[in-house]
Amino acid sequence: MKMRSIVFIIIILLSILHYTTNAQDQKENENSLSVAAIKGSVDTITSEDQQLQAIPEIELLPILSYDTDVGLGYGAKAFFLNQLDWNESFDIVLFNSTKGERWYRFVFSVPDFEIRQGKKYPLAVDVIIDYDKWIKNSYFGIGNKSQFKDREYYTREPFELSIALNRGFTSHIVGQIGLKYKSVRNFNLENNSRLINLMPSLNSSIAKYGSFFVNSRYDTRDSYINPSKGIVLQSDVEYAPNMSFTNVDLFRLSEWFQYYRILFYPKTVLAIRFGLIGIIGTDLPIQMLQSIGGNQTLRGFPQDRYLDKSSTLLNVEIRFPIIWRFGGIAGFDAGKVWSGLNKIDLYNWPWNSVLGLRLYMDTFVVRADVGFSIETTGFYLNFGQLF
């Protein structure tokens, strides 16, 4: 079946599903609002009179995993909720692997993402520090015609620091502004690497930028951690100008659509994500190009399998319970890259099927996925639903 037909069928199904459940969801929302009003707005994350306090909680999880791209992994994850009585959360990941991934991540949010989900609130702050070194990262080439047989390896060392201010204007409409600094160093290239001669010269050194970003989101999900119903419409704009301490300038636009619906009980959920991202800039190094392939995008293809200035991604999952805290998924991923948004087409998208397991903790989800493509089979273990 042509990709155009697949997309049209998905759009038609979404329209039917959305409109047949609109009246029921509206009635549920009205009942929820009435209960909240009777209880004095206790379900509101912040109000002029009071604040709902989360129960303090600490979750610690050792990590032992195997990932096609990073090898045998080991480390730990820690999550601290409301230890300071601010409804805040600290999310910390320390991870190493035998193929050389070194991932250290720190996220501070006040109020916590899940607590403020579906609430109206005046201000929330998120601080993210992320270091994710890949000693053996893959480069296949640029564009959809890159060949798997041309794979070469190098070391990729990204570092990212961001701070964002958020406001819940209503229970469903959220705005965000923030600042970000990002640097990506490429080194340990093979002697005959194509990156040595590929322009610009930043391809084989360090690329860095500082940016301002703004996003708006319409979000009716019933949960941030593990949604079972709702819609997300999100627009993002990021601008990185020339600055004295950077060497890359760019403009990035993205649009995301997510859809969740309970199909039947035991609780089986249809989850769909579609995204479109475009970057405007001249002489952009590969460190700043859009990537699809790997744990977060096309799970049957290696990390960074396809690179270019624009990308589109489609993920479809059926999420179902198994036993106790365990669940499973069956899914489908598809995506493609282009040199510009004006080059987008609906033909011959790389795609893969996916099977996975989930372990549902109180404050996060452990995710294990196996993706099957015509090139490779990928196995991935990570945290959080794919979307």
User: Token pair of 349, please?
Assistant: 């998208």
Task: With CA atoms as reference, report the closest residue to 241 among 251, 232, 233.
Answer: 251
**Cα-flanking dihedrals φ and ψ of residue 386, to 5°?**
-55, -35
Q: How far apart are CA 33 and CA 43, in angstroms?
A: 9
Predicted confidence (pLDDT) per residue in 9-42, tens digit = 444 344 444 444 444 444 444 444 333 332 333 3
- Mean local confidence (pLDDT), 67-72: 86
User: Token pair of 57, please?
Assistant: 């909680």
pLDDT band, residue 67 (cuts 50/70/90): confident
Kindly tell me the burial class for residue 26, based on how many C-beta atoms sit within 10 Å of its own C-beta (0-12, 13-18, 19 or more).
exposed
Mean pLDDT of the chain: 89
Percentage of the residues of the chain whose pLDDT score is greater than 70: 87
**What residues are paired with 354 via a beta bridge?**
331, 371
| 59-63, 268-272, 333-337, 368-372: the lowest-pLDDT one | 59-63
User: Token pair of 317, please?
Assistant: 């999952």
**Cα-flanking dihedrals φ and ψ of residue 141, to 5°?**
130, -175
- Mean local confidence (pLDDT), 102-109: 97
Kindly tell me the burial class for residue 106, based on how many C-beta atoms sit within 10 Å of its own C-beta (0-12, 13-18, 19 or more).
middle
Kindly tell me the burial class for residue 61, based on how many C-beta atoms sit within 10 Å of its own C-beta (0-12, 13-18, 19 or more).
middle
How many other β-carbons are positioned within 10 Å of the β-carbon of residue 5?
A: 10
At residue 283, the 3 state secondary structure works out as coil
Helix%, strand%, coil% for the chain, nearest 5:
15, 55, 35
Domains and CATH numbers, the chain: 3-383 (2.40.160.50)
Can you give the pTM of this predicted structure?
0.83
Mode of pairing for the β-strands spanning 326-338 and 310-323? antiparallel
| 15-29, 91-105, 338-352: the lowest-pLDDT one | 15-29
Residue 65 confidence (pLDDT): 81
Q: How far apart are CA 35 and CA 163, in angstroms?
A: 35
**What residues are paired with 237 via a beta bridge?**
214, 253
Interior angle at CA 373, CA 305 and CA 333, nearest 5: 80
At residue 32, the 3 state secondary structure works out as helix
Instruction: Note every long-range contact of 356-359, with CB atoms under 8 Å and residues 24 or more positions apart, other chains counting.
Output: 356/328, 356/329, 356/330, 356/331, 357/322, 357/326, 357/327, 357/328, 357/329, 358/319, 358/326, 358/327, 358/328, 358/329, 358/385, 359/325, 359/326
Residue 6 confidence (pLDDT): 41
Predicted confidence (pLDDT) per residue in 227-269, tens digit = 999 999 999 999 999 999 999 999 999 999 999 999 999 999 9
